[in-house]
Amino acid sequence: MNTIDHEDFEAVIGLEVHAQLLTQSKAFAPVAAQYGQAPNTQISPLCLGYPGTLPLVNENLIRYIIKMGLATNCSIAPKSIFARKNYFYPDLPKGYQISQFETPICEGGHIDIEVEGYSKCIGITRIHMEEDAGKSIHDQDPYNTLVDLNRAGTPLIEIVSEPDLRTPQEAYAYLSKIKQIVQYLEVCDGNMEEGSLRCDANVSVRLRGSEKFGTRTELKNMNSFRNVEKAIDFEIYRQIELIEAGGEVVQQTRLWDTSKMETRIMRSKEEAHDYRYFPEPDLPPIIVTNDLLDEIKEELPELAHIRQQRFIEQYQLSLVDAITLTENRYLADFFEELVLKSDQVKASVNLVLSDVLRVLNEQSIAIHNFPLSVTRLAELLNLRASDKVSSTAQQTIFNAMLEQDSSAQELAETLNLLQVSDSNYMDGLVKQVIDANPDEAARYKEGKKQLMGFFVGQVMKASKGKANPKMANELVRKYLD
């Protein structure tokens, strides 16, 4: 990736993020909205745009978007209306999308993002709801375009940021924050690769210090977080180079080409759709009462930044550890449950941050698919806390648990990892080691206390690793000090 060296310029970036909502049914039809079903099985006369059908608003659509609005500090309009966005496409059955235009339900919010050591407040212009189109499939039949309308009418929210972002890294951080919020609220699964989170970017550049915005381009087709960052980076460079070469940026929509790693023109301003928005006459205005608002506020979960702060105070975590643990709501839940069951904060932190995260990364799985239950892990931590196994043994048992269903205790036994704390046995072992190493014993007595490590090591070796090292330490001191 390039790094900006055209120091005279700065970029102005705004993001439009579409989040697919996790409602059971479609936005405006009582039809299941499940993904991955056989084509054209999640449909009804309404989804097909049959004559005479009318839309019905899914109540959860309203609740979900209000949650999102509250979580991003937006004001919630007591009355807003739906609008029709008109265009022709084979996977758009009614010839229009039901959306919101002049009066979105959420406006004027903001969120804080953290980027490489600084934090920044990014404005949210608006959040509105709309229905998704179906899918046109161009590559399965050599002669025809196929249309799958399962997705037609599934609910989306569009989150529009202010042009407050200045670098691709800020855009990445903003997008990550949005993902975190939708996941915390459980309104969207936040999976960009699968399309449940989609992002378009408006990008322009201007001379540093200039108040005026440059001409912007709109970037589409960036289907991962990294691609958003790369595409914006590419586009900033393209625009700067264009201007420096004496050219002018033209307002247009551009597609990110992942294979060529470049943006290319999709349509010019002249070819832009005139969507002919107008108020949707089939739906009454959306009225949000104070009662509904209070009810939804009650339902709001503790959001990441608040939880982060609580973790620092309640568990005395470092900021870095608190951020990592709260990045994902379910990881944070997992951690807190482990603390609750094991009653060990530090050990829980270490286990989750090192072992659990390592496994998640290695296996590319989400925390809810993590193979070990909190109960089993708590048992492992307790085994270690009661000194029955060494820290090395804990690691070995953890790895073994991933392979088999036995409990930590059982594995410690079968793998012969239980520490021996029997005092007669230990006493004999220590004496035996001292007797076998008279020179070292003499030097220790003369003051070479560093030899403690040597004695404990010998004891461990003689016991084949099973001896309790703490006990060995105490016994050596008893005989030689």
Partner 1 sequence: MSKQTIRSVQKRIASGKLRLRNLVAEHLSTIEKRNSDINAVTHIDYESAYERADNIEAKIKEGKAGPLAGAIIGIKEAICEAGKPATCASNILRNFKSVYNATVIDRMHNDDALFLARHNMDEFAMGSTNEYSVHGTVRNPHNIGYVTGGSSGGSAAAVAAQFVQASLGSDTGGSIRQPAAYCGVVGLKPSYGRVSRYGLIAYASSFDTIGPLTNTVEDAALILGSIAGHDKNDMTSVTNPVADYMYAVDNPNKNIRIGIPEEYFGEGLDAEIHQKIMSLIYQLEVDGATLVPIKLPHSEYAISTYYILATAEASSNLARYDGVRYGHRASIDQIKELESEDTALNKMYKLSRTQGFGMEVKRRIMLGTYVLSSGYYNAYYAKAQKVRRLIQQDFLQAFEQVDIIVSPTAPTTAFPIGSKLDEPVQMYLNDIYTISANLAGIGGINVPIGFHSNGLPMGLQFMASVFEEERLIASARLIERLQT
Cβ-based nearer residue to partner 1, 7 or 139 = 139
List the end-to-end C-alpha distance of the chain, in Å, as a whole number: 62
State CA 249 to chain mean position distance: 34
Percent helix, strand, coil in the chain, to 5, is 40, 20, 40
Half-sphere CA count of 131, side-chain side, radius 13 A: 34
Q: Please report how close the Cβ of residue 79 comes to partner 1 at its closest, in angstroms.
A: 15
User: Can you tell me which of 32, 56, 266, 418 binds partner 1, judged by CB under 8 A?
Assistant: 56
Q: Please report how close the Cβ of residue 309 comes to partner 1 at its closest, in angstroms.
A: 43
Which residues, numbered 82-141, are part of the site for partner 1 (CB under 8 A)? 84, 86, 88, 90, 93-96
Cβ-based nearer residue to partner 1, 284 or 453 = 284
Q: Please report how close the Cβ of residue 133 comes to partner 1 at its closest, in angstroms.
A: 12
Q: In sequence order, what DSSP letters do the residues of 394-436 get, joined into one string?
A: HHHHHHHHHH----HHHHHHHTT-PPB--HHHHHHHHHHHHHH
User: Can you tell me which of 284, 371, 428, 453 binds partner 1, judged by CB under 8 A?
Assistant: 284
- Yes or no: say if 180 and 119 are a contact pair by the CB < 8 Å rule: no
Q: What angle do CA 244, 248, 250 make, to 5 degrees?
A: 140
Q: Please report how close the Cβ of residue 89 comes to partner 1 at its closest, in angstroms.
A: 8
Task: Tell me the one-letter amino acid at 287.
Answer: I
Residue 50 within binding range of partner 1, rule CB under 8 A: yes
Q: In sequence order, what DSSP letters do the residues of 435-474 get, joined into one string?
A: HH-HHHHHHHHTT-GGGHHHHHHHHHHHTTT-B-HHHHHH
Question: Which one of 47-55, 346-354, 361-369, 426-434 is the stretch in contact with partner 1 (CB under 8 A)?
Answer: 47-55
Residue 276 within binding range of partner 1, rule CB under 8 A: yes
Cβ-based nearer residue to partner 1, 93 or 163 = 93
Task: Tell me the one-letter amino acid at 107.
Answer: E
User: Can you tell me which of 14, 55, 69, 109 binds partner 1, judged by CB under 8 A?
Assistant: 55
- Hunting for tokens 């161009």 — which residue is that? 138
User: Can you tell me which of 39, 49, 301, 457 binds partner 1, judged by CB under 8 A?
Assistant: 49
Q: Please report how close the Cβ of residue 43 comes to partner 1 at its closest, in angstroms.
A: 10
Cβ-based nearer residue to partner 1, 23 or 180 = 23
Rounded to whole angstroms, the Cα distance separating 442 from 479 reads 12
User: Can you tell me which of 4, 18, 53, 425 binds partner 1, judged by CB under 8 A?
Assistant: 53
Q: Which residues of 178-211 are buried (b: 16+ CB within 10 A; e: fewer)?
A: bbbbbbbbebbbbebeeebbbbbbbbbbbeeeee
Cβ-based nearer residue to partner 1, 39 or 465 = 39
Cβ-based nearer residue to partner 1, 276 or 297 = 276
Residue 45 within binding range of partner 1, rule CB under 8 A: yes
Question: Which one of 279-287, 290-298, 332-340, 378-386 is the stretch in contact with partner 1 (CB under 8 A)?
Answer: 279-287
Q: Please report how close the Cβ of residue 284 comes to partner 1 at its closest, in angstroms.
A: 6
Q: Is 233 exposed, middle or buried (0-12, 13-18, 19+ CB in 10 A)?
A: buried
Cβ-based nearer residue to partner 1, 87 or 354 = 87
Cβ-based nearer residue to partner 1, 49 or 108 = 49
Rounded to whole angstroms, the Cα distance separating 59 from 286 reads 10
Cβ-based nearer residue to partner 1, 48 or 385 = 48
Size of the site for partner 1 (CB under 8 A): 29
Residue 60 within binding range of partner 1, rule CB under 8 A: no
Residue 57 within binding range of partner 1, rule CB under 8 A: yes
Residue 81 within binding range of partner 1, rule CB under 8 A: no
Cβ-based nearer residue to partner 1, 99 or 390 = 99
Q: In sequence order, what DSSP letters do the residues of 237-263 get, joined into one string?
A: HHHHHHHHTT-----EEEEEETTTTEE
Structure tokens at 386: 């009661």
Q: Residue numbers of the site for partner 1 (CB under 8 A)?
A: 45, 48-57, 84, 86, 88, 90, 93-96, 145, 147, 274, 276-278, 281-284
